[in-house]
Amino acid sequence: MHATTEATTTRLNKTLKPHWVWAIALGSAVGWGAFILPADWMGTAGPLGALIGMTIGGALMIVVGVSYGFLARTFPVSGGAFAYTLVGFGRLHAYICAWFMTLGYVSIVALNASALAVLARQVVPQVAEMGYLYTVAGWDVYLGEVLISTAALIIFAALNVRGSGNSARLQFYMCVLMIAAVLAIVIGVLASPQGRVSNIDPLFNPETPALAGVLAIVAIAPWAFIGFDNIPQTAEEFSFSASKAFKLIVWSLVAATGLYLAMILATAAGAPWQAELAKQPVWLTADVVTAAIGPIGLVLLCVAAFMGIATGLNGFYMAGSRVLLAMGRAQMIPSSFAKVHPKHGTPSTGIWFVLIVCLVAPWFGRTALNWIVDMASIGFTFAFAYTCLCAFRMFQWSGTKEAVPGSASTTRKLLAGAGVVVAIVFTILLLAPGSPAQLSVPSFIAMGAWILIGVVFYLLRRRHSSSVTDDEVDIAVLGSVRPEWVRSL
């Protein structure tokens, strides 16, 4: 066995408690969008259309979560969908899956940092809008907001390097504060004189067919709920049985869906939504909440939004660095990514890499960054499809001999198959011409560029990768050679 392969088998410390892992997933799924984008969603589908679309999206993610939960229990290692794809379909497919996942995680870290600057524009504009630099795709870039985003990126990178237990504990406290703030906002708006159910009329956007509007909201589910897959990403660090992974996935998705619905309801019920949208407000939710509750409402909303942004930054630093760790173990990228910090036991190389890449993003403006994030939704659907296909192969029909406990279940096999269909539907919604959720032209260009870079990098590493056997890769990524029952699939 190569010495480099032996070095990559160092495992991460098992420091994560169940409620911390739940918070990692919830905080990653509920980011800035829940507090800034309800007006956009209502403008697309109307209040009821947005509520229905988000509910369907959350339910579909639970279907996908069945496969993630089973595979996280069976292969409790870092890498999540990358490790599962490696087992089910080999190194090439695992590389494709991880390449898109990495882009998705990194871009969401960058987007959350830029969202903090957007929040600062509303709260302390004299700081955020200090030092105008230039305009990119209609977005004015200021030195103040660049510095705010940069500071946030550095702080959370340093926090993650110093230990996953510390960052996960903080994640839980921030999630509790976010939930409390959202509950106070919803109760306050509905109990105020301005809060009326009649404000939700019309239920759907009259200018868009109801079904098209709902589908447009459903299509953003891979982006809106992607944080749930941070649970299998951190499975190697569980201080508890990996059999709890599926329950944690379900409860994180239920909580995330509830928070999304709560913020849509608060925004829609606080004032007649069509009249408010006609004013073209910068932040409609803030206007509505402030009018209904007063300054305390704005404070609560800013607290909730800040917690959502901070938990997104924290959670996706963890997820992105774990994918890079697994790719480094497989020697698809330089082996330095497979090393863990000698003192803190964290994948520090991957964390610093994510930081360096993201430090470039604030200088390009939020509009340009949105193109990349929109395109990254396709990458997450690839991960969904690969994971569900792998689980479908491993699940057995009821009555057959179980390869692993819980694998002989017709229901679970059908749900894994349904997860594949869900991933295909998401792909069609995002790519098909004429789809209400089709990606923009800049997003398609960004996707093409990323694919080209991935092909070039793969070809550059191909000679080295061919010198490493499949068994060596298995030992590095999975901790052992894959069992015979997997080889026989």
Q: Look up tokens 């509790």; give the residue.
A: 176
Alpha helices by DSSP H, listed for 124-219, are 125-128, 143-161, 164-191, 210-218
Which phi and psi (to 5°) does residue 65 adopt?
-65, -25
Tokens of 417: 């198959």
- Is the separation of the CB atoms in 77 and 236 below 8 Å? yes
Tokens of 200: 């939700």
Tokens of 93: 């497919």
Q: What is the CATH number of the domain that holds 169?
A: 1.20.1740.10
Q: Is the dihedral of CA 156, 157, 162, 168 positive or negative?
A: positive
DSSP character at residue 228: G
Among 326, 367, 201, smallest CA distance to 271 is for 201
Bridge partners of 134? Answer: 141
Among 162, 169, 157, 156, smallest CA distance to 344 is for 162
Domain count, the chain: 1
CA 445/CA 228 separation, integer angstroms: 28
Q: Is the pLDDT of residue 367 over 80?
A: no
> pLDDT value at position 489?
65
Q: Is the pLDDT of residue 374 over 80?
A: no
Q: Model confidence over 193-236: pLDDT tens digits?
A: 888 888 888 899 988 899 989 988 988 888 788 889 899 999 99
* pTM recorded for the entire structure: 0.89
CA 24/CA 26 separation, integer angstroms: 6
Q: Is the dihedral of CA 260, 65, 380, 242 positive or negative?
A: positive
CA 44/CA 41 separation, integer angstroms: 5
**253 or 102: whose pLDDT is higher?**
253
**401 or 364: whose pLDDT is higher?**
364
Domain region containing 108: 3-487
Q: Model confidence over 123-170: pLDDT tens digits?
A: 888 998 999 999 887 888 999 999 999 999 999 999 999 988 888 999
Q: Is the dihedral of CA 246, 382, 102, 455 positive or negative?
A: positive
Residue-averaged pLDDT of the chain:
88
Q: Model confidence over 416-444: pLDDT tens digits?
A: 999 999 889 888 888 888 877 788 888 88
> Region 365-386: what's the mean pLDDT?
78
Q: Model confidence over 292-328: pLDDT tens digits?
A: 999 999 999 999 999 999 999 999 999 999 999 999 9
Which phi and psi (to 5°) does residue 88 adopt?
-80, -30
Bridge partners of 132? Answer: 142
